[in-house]
Structure 1
């Protein structure tokens, strides 16, 4: 039975479930953090196409699956840089959001949308991802969550 049938107001989860799920790439070298991010995103109805811990593995996944958006830590395995990964993804037309305890001051590319600081709240992650994707596709998010710091303040 839906909220309309019960007379109850729709819950935020109902609204999210009605939106098209996004295909997301997680670029994170800490396995536990990557799993927490994946769980939070799938609970919001999104599909995680893969988890990468290096620039090379991120590019291989992105080239094979073509995500709608990537969430990228700044420090990756093997001394790799998430800044490099984000730049390479943006050059391929794939928008990116940093998910890091060390948010960079700027994205360096219009498709590097912003940063969600760690520690993050799992409940706000879905809204932040949706707002970042809307921004990347030229739409203005109606109520962007404070957890997402946009690099282009005009957004």
Structure 2
């Protein structure tokens, strides 16, 4: 049996985070403990090496998510921004593989995660979800 992909969710809106965790686990993903603080997220990422991190840009009143994405990318963890700030996410495209703007449904997120993980593995067979902005230069080329 295949080991499920591990995800890290960094979100300061607790109800959003819990809903995402539940929906992604129902879809077969392993979700690490939820965190809303960049320091905790980095410690968890170093310990568990997630396959993908879902990061909100605005964390507790600051815009720490972009700085966190820089740190995660440096240790090899791909990031997708899950933010109500799509322009900031696009401006920070060099540190993420994509962005899904709020508001989104859990189903939208499940589809986006499946698509991005497949692309990161070199598989282009899944259709790109309509609301997912993909930063193609950060994904491997697909033959």
Matched, 1:37 2:20: yes
Task: State the TM-score, normalized to the length of structure 1.
Answer: 0.79
Matched, 1:140 2:140: no
Structure showing greater radius of gyration is 1
- What is the match of residue 52 of structure 2? 69
Aligned Cα root-mean-square deviation (Å): 2.1
Contact 1:21 1:46 in 2 (8 A): yes
Q: Does the C-alpha gap of structure 1 residues 95 and 154 become closer, same or farther in structure 2, counting only changes over 3 Å?
A: closer
Q: Does the C-alpha gap of structure 1 residues 87 and 144 become closer, same or farther in structure 2, counting only changes over 3 Å?
A: same
* Number of aligned positions between the proteins: 136
Q: Does the C-alpha gap of structure 1 residues 94 and 142 become closer, same or farther in structure 2, counting only changes over 3 Å?
A: same
The correspondence for 2:90, drawn from 96, 105, 111, is: 105
Matched, 1:84 2:67: yes
Instruction: Show structure 1 runs of 5+ residues with no match.
Output: 1-17
Contact 1:55 1:80 in 2 (8 A): no
Task: State the TM-score, normalized to the length of structure 2.
Answer: 0.85
Query: Equivalents in 2 of 1:141, 1:20: separation in Å?
Result: 21
Instruction: Show structure 2 runs of 5+ residues with no match.
Output: none
1:19-38 equivalent positions in 2, closer than 5 A: 21-38=4-21
Contact 1:54 1:78 in 2 (8 A): no
